[in-house]
């Protein structure tokens, strides 16, 4: 059921969070951010949830931050440090899949840099019109996007606000796969189910290494090795090894 224009539904071990304000092209209001934060924080503590999937209702993923909220903030004297939404999104321990059902504007694009895997419908496009609104980038996009697809491409998007289409985003490594619009949710849910069937601690630790591991090679090797040695003795690895020897499919459903 949709509450505050966000629908949060459990699909097996996947928690689906859907921006559900199609009449405003899923523009994100403060109430919507708060609801998404609640869902993300709940996902990390709920053992039944293994994967989180983000998507939108209708033809837009999201048209970005609600501009009337921007206006209200501009006219008030709010002095908040940080954004609970960006904190919850970027610190989520469980894997996050983006299913981009249409254009993703502003924070609609920048939030995807914090997803682990992204599937885009053919109708998706990505645009960050920050400078034309007199704003600057957020969600660490000015750090992550040059790193991900290069300084010049990131500059065209962030300085000029040039949009890219779904296929370009795939070529640049920003999305994993582009599918027909009608196949989006089935593809994204199948991907989420694949993640959910894996050993959950191994998945969370791998995500943590990818996102926050040490940045020098010797340091990272040492960090991985410490975890690797622990993992060799873990019940999850025990089940994987036993299943291989017994020529059966492993079952990680009991692990959290």
**Residues near ligand COA (CB under 6 A):** 24-25, 27, 63-68, 105-106, 129-130, 133
How far apart are the C-alpha atoms of 171 and 177, rounded to whole Å? 10
Q: Nearest to ligand COA by Cβ — which residue?
A: 106
Residue number, 130 or 149, with CB nearest to ligand COA: 130
Closest distance between ligand COA and the C-beta of residue 137, in Å? Answer: 9
Rounded to a whole number of angstroms, the minimum distance from the CB of residue 64 to ligand COA is 3
Using CA atoms, how far apart are residues 63 and 111, in angstroms rounded to an integer? 12
Per-position b or e across 35-52, b if 16+ CB within 10 A of its CB? bbbbbbeebeeeeebbbb
Q: Which residues contact 142 (CB under 8 A, 6 or more apart)?
A: 136, 154, 158
CA separation, residue 121 to residues 42, 126, 173 (Å): 28, 12, 15
The least CB distance from residue 4 to ligand COA, in Å, is: 15
Q: How far is the CB of 63 from ligand COA (least distance, A)?
A: 3
Q: Which is nearer to ligand COA, 94 or 125 (CB)?
A: 125
Nearer to ligand COA, 67 or 143 (CB): 67
Pick the closer one to ligand COA by CB: 68 or 212.
68
């Amino acid at each position: 059921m949709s509450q505050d224009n966000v629908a949060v539904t459990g699909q097996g071990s996947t928690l689906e969070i859907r921006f559900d304000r199609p009449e405003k092209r899923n523009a994100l209001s403060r109430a919507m951010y708060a609801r998404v934060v609640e869902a993300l924080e709940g996902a990390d503590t709920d053992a039944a949830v293994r994967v989180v999937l983000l998507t939108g209702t209708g033809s837009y993923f999201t048209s970005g931050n609600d501009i009337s909220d921007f206006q209200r903030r501009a006219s008030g004297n709010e002095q908040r440090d940080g954004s609970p939404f960006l904190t919850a999104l970027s610190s989520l321990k469980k894997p996050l899949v983006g299913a981009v059902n249409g254009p993703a504007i502003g924070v609609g694009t920048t939030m995807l840099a914090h997803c682990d895997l992204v599937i885009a419908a053919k109708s998706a496009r990505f645009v960050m019109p920050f400078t034309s609104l007199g704003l600057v980038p957020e969600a660490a996009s000015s750090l992550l996007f040059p790193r991900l697809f290069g300084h010049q491409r990131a500059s065209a998007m962030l300085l000029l606000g040039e949009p890219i289409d779904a296929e370009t985003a795939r070529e640049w490594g920003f999305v994993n796969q582009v599918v027909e619009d009608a196949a989006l949710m089935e593809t994204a849910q199948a991907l989420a189910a694949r993640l959910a069937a894996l050993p959950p601690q191994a998945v969370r630790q791998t995500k943590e290494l990818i996102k926050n591991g040490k940045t020098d090679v010797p340091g990272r090797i040492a960090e991985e090795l410490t975890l690797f040695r622990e993992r060799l003795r873990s019940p999850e690895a025990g089940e994987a090894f036993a299943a291989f020897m017994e020529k059966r499919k492993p079952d990680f459903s009991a692990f959290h």
